Amino acid sequence: MSATGEAGGPEAASCTAPRSVEYSEVVTLRTWTFAISFIQSSTPVARALICPDARYVAVRWQDGRLDRRHVSSSLWPGLEHELVHDLATEPVSRSSMISTVLVGSMGALMRVSFVEMQPVDVGRMEDAANVLDAATRFGQPV
C-alpha cells in the first residue's frame, strides 16, 4: 500500500478502474406483420406490426400516419399466446386480442389478416422502436 492507503501497482489499478465496454451484439426480434383492409371492398388501409420482444405494436395507415398502440403488461401474455399459435391465411377473428389491439371498435368495418412472421435485427434495444417503425412502411421488407 502507498502512504495514502491506496493499493499500488498496475494490477490494482486495472481492477478498480471503470472500463468502457461496447456491445456490438445484434439482437434479433420476432415480428408478426398484418394487413388491414375494409371488409366490404378488400381495399388495403394499413399495415400493422406486433413485436412482443420489444413490447411494440403499431399500425401504419396508407396515408403514412403511424399509430403506436399501448398494450398493458397484463394483456401481453394473451396477445403472445394468440401470436404463437398457427395464424391461418384467413382473416384474424374479430373477437381476437390481435384484432382488438390493431383495429379496436373498427373491427366491424376492417379485416385483419396475418401476412408473415419475420425476424428483425436491431443493433441496440434502445433503437428497437425506430427500427420497427421503419419496418411498418409499405413496400419495406420487415
**Per residue in 38-96, pLDDT tens?**
999 989 999 999 999 999 999 999 999 999 999 999 999 999 999 988 787 778 998 99
Report the C-alpha gap between 102 and 57 in whole angstroms.
8
pLDDT of residue 5: 45
Domain that holds residue 83: 26-135
Q: Averaged over 114-127, what is the pLDDT?
A: 88
Pick from 75, 82, 105: nearest CA to 34: 82
Is residue 55 assigned to a domain? yes
Is residue 69 assigned to a domain? yes
Is residue 90 assigned to a domain? yes
Q: Averaged over 123-140, what is the pLDDT?
A: 81
Q: Averaged over 127-141, what is the pLDDT?
A: 78
Is residue 3 assigned to a domain? no
Is residue 2 assigned to a domain? no
- Count of structural domains, the chain: 1
pTM score: 0.77
pLDDT of residue 138: 63
Is residue 8 assigned to a domain? no
Q: Which helix (H) or strand (E) holds 83?
A: helix 76-84
pLDDT of residue 113: 94
pLDDT of residue 130: 87
CB 32 within 8 A of CB 114: yes
Q: Averaged over 5-31, what is the pLDDT?
A: 55
User: In which region does residue 9 sit, left (phi positive, over 0), alpha (psi from -120 to 50) or beta (all else)?
Assistant: left
Is residue 140 assigned to a domain? no
Ranges 19-23, 27-31, 122-126, 132-136, most confident: 27-31
